[in-house]
Amino acid sequence: MIVMKFGGTSVESADAIRRVAEIVQARQDRHPLVVVSAMGKTTNRLLAAADKAAAGNLEDAHRDIEELEAFHRREIGAILPADKHGKLDDVLETHFVDLEASLGEVATTGEVTPQLWDEIGSYGERLSSLLVAMAFNALGVPSVHLDARHALVTDSRHTQALPLYGRTYARFREKAVPLLREAVVVMGGFIGATADGVTTTLGRGGSDFSASIAGAGIGAEEIQIWTDVDGMLTCDPRILPGGHLLRTISFNEAAELAYFGAKVLHPSTLLPAVEKDIPVRILNSRHPEVEGTRVVAEMVHSTNPVKSISCKRGITVVNIRSLRMLMAHGFLRRIFEVFDRYRTPVDMVATTEVSVSLTIDQTQMLPEIEAELSRIAEVVVTPDQALICLVGEAIRETPGISARIFGAVRDVNVRMISQGASLLNFSLVVNDADLVRTIKALHDEFFSELDPAVFEV
């Protein structure tokens, strides 16, 4: 058995779904469980409609929902035979009537509560999984639908729910495995439910996480993440085109890249796969012939000490200097208590006895944080920075790597550096305006020659 996850761009239209059906059909003998995201930008449009309803613009919200209904009817209707259009209409009517009721509740309360956010945001995957299963059957791929809320059990932390792994794995063994013996199973990603049946979501980008959880639950031999890129590259193609495809990378390296900005994988995706030692493969639904990137548990040895360079834009550096100057016992504790109180994660830290520099990428609560810190310290905030992360498990064992890094960026003003907090990355902060040239210089330094066993040459 395998798990195949397809993102929103892979199921955004009738043509895209036909491509996906061909890919799945070619792997039918491996008994695939297919996890799908919402079609295209459906989730964004659903939540935008919820915001309009909360602002009192219920008419505009309903208009947006009508457009979404028409979009789903048009794209799936182009695949289904005429005698199945009545069933399609029934599915759409049922879901959109319930959705409009939820929007009405938002309009009445004047806010999108976390529970309503989950309820409304879940409709994209609830619809896509049902409709893709119908489309697969019409395209000759025998399929059944599995409501993710009946299998993926979570806690009640709405918008960022965490799986209850023991119960969830038992549900997948009970509900999914018997179905997989007979047909392809199609399930929506991103969503689950509490033990009481209340709809929850795993957070944005959570469909990858759903696929990994499902793979662990059914004991899959492989988890495939089908995207619109060929796999993991040596650099982000949106920042610097011309990167090289990684054939193989370790779980630890892939997770580090995901956390520090690589968009191919959701940062939490790999946790269940690591626990069950299930390899993950990243593939391109538009180029299924490309072998993609295989993510494995063991360390991947390479003559290249750096496997990839990732980055985060929109970083803010916060420099904090103690007003007491000396005898600053408890200074760090007081600083991080403030960030914890305002639920703002810190990416990178550099510290001395009386001063701390740190980076954040969530600035919603920054004015409140700055006000509290100013009672005990001088605070200087520098926005528009970028965090660059060189990742490779051999970094810690390679003499002279720091000299190579600083030689490559000798003409760049580096604001912060970090090595040692993680044993497999070297991070630096630069002005966002210097991001592209910095990554190019580092990429030229570390990927001018490639190990063909690890990289596609």
- Tell me, what's the pLDDT at 332? 84
The arithmetic mean of pLDDT across residues 270-274, rounded, is 87
Task: Please indicate, yes or no, if residue 163 is contained in any of the structural domains.
Answer: yes
Same domain, 220 and 363: no
Alpha-carbon span 89 to 72, nearest angstrom: 10
**65-98 CB burial, b ≥16 within 10 A, e <16:** beebbebbbebbbebbeeebeeebeebbeebbee
Angle between helices 206-218 and 165-180 (to 10 degrees): 70
Domains: count for the chain: 2
pLDDT bracket for residue 329 (50, 70, 90): low
CB 43 within 8 A of CB 117: no
Average model confidence (pLDDT) for the chain? 93
CB 445 within 8 A of CB 408: yes
The pLDDT tens digits for 198-238 are: 999 998 778 999 999 999 999 999 999 998 889 999 998 88
Task: Please indicate, yes or no, if residue 247 is contained in any of the structural domains.
Answer: no
Same domain, 24 and 166: yes
Give the CATH number for residue 374. Answer: 3.30.2130.10
HSE, CB side, 13 Å, CA atoms: give it for residue 6.
31
Same domain, 213 and 323: no
The percentage of the chain sitting over the pLDDT mark of 70, rounded to a whole number, equals: 97
Give the CATH number for residue 137. Answer: 3.40.1160.10
pLDDT bracket for residue 95 (50, 70, 90): very high
Question: Whose CA is closest to 134, among 96, 89, 70, 193?
Answer: 89
Go through the chain and tell me how many residues it has: 457
CB 362 within 8 A of CB 345: yes
Task: Please indicate, yes or no, if residue 395 is contained in any of the structural domains.
Answer: yes
Asked if the model's pLDDT at residue 262 lies above 90, the reply is no
- Tell me, what's the pLDDT at 99? 96
Q: Which residue, of 193, 228, 263, is where some domain finishes?
A: 228
Same domain, 170 and 63: yes
- Tell me, what's the pLDDT at 434? 96
Same domain, 196 and 333: no
Asked if the model's pLDDT at residue 310 lies above 80, the reply is yes
Task: Please indicate, yes or no, if residue 382 is contained in any of the structural domains.
Answer: yes
- Tell me, what's the pLDDT at 257? 86
Q: Which residue, of 228, 248, 276, is where some domain finishes?
A: 228
Backbone CA torsion sign across 350, 355, 357, 358: positive
Same domain, 340 and 215: no
The pLDDT tens digits for 276-298 are: 999 999 999 989 999 999 999 88
Angle between helices 123-138 and 58-77 (to 10 degrees): 20
Task: Please indicate, yes or no, if residue 177 is contained in any of the structural domains.
Answer: yes
Range of the domain at 361: 308-446
pLDDT bracket for residue 328 (50, 70, 90): low
Q: Which residue, of 180, 207, 228, is where some domain finishes?
A: 228
The pLDDT tens digits for 430-451 are: 999 999 999 999 999 999 999 9
